[in-house]
Amino acid sequence: MNESLKPDRVSDKTRLEYMQTFIGKPMEESHSPVGRWLNGMLLDIQEGSMKVEFVVRKDMSNPMGILHGGIAATILDEVVGTMVYALGREFAFVSVNLNCDFLNAAKVGETIFASGNVIRAGKNIIHVEGSIVSAEGVIIAKCTSNLLQTGLRIPSLS
């Protein structure tokens, strides 16, 4: 395991192992209300990486019938935030910035894939990257973000 990604263990069952039990399932039972609304399907989550499938719904679109940029940013923030949660750190992390580039459109009804990767996991700041791609591999949007450790302890899973 990459030393920079080693989490502080807070229970016998790690958050990563817990999250892996949701692979292949819709995220309708996410701890995050926004995550439940987005309702993607978790495809994979590993130490420092995550991939989720979404279908662009009408309520995620702008007046032109394409994925709204704010929703694309929300998807990216949700994926990278959940990925950082799964690292198993004792304290919660929050996004302090989210720099997004919107590169191509995704139409209502299209399946898109959002992924995140930890680039550097320091003690107090975790730097991540995320992307949304079409089924054909066309980049819809991408982001970088820094997440900052808070003073809020995350409750144990046990």
Evaluate if residue 8 carries a pLDDT over 70. no
> What are the residue ranges of helices labelled H in 26-153?
33-38, 69-85
Q: Please state, in angstroms and rounded to a whole number, the distance separating the CA atoms of residues 118 and 77.
A: 13
Model pTM greater than 0.75?
yes
The amino acid that residue 52 corresponds to is V
Question: Is 50 in contact with 82 (CB distance < 8 Å)?
Answer: yes
In tens, the pLDDT along 98-129 reads 999 999 999 999 999 999 999 999 999 999 99
The widest CA-to-CA distance across the chain, in whole angstroms, is 48
The whole-number pLDDT of residue 12 equals: 53
Higher pLDDT, 10 or 12: 12
Q: Please state, in angstroms and rounded to a whole number, the distance separating the CA atoms of residues 6 and 104.
A: 35
Among 2-16, 72-86, 139-153, which is the least confidently predicted range? Answer: 2-16
In tens, the pLDDT along 19-64 reads 999 999 998 888 899 999 999 999 999 999 999 999 999 999 999 9
Taking residue 94's Cβ as centre, other Cβ atoms within 10 Å add up to 12
Taking residue 157's Cβ as centre, other Cβ atoms within 10 Å add up to 13
> What are the residue ranges of helices labelled H in the chain?
15-20, 33-38, 69-85
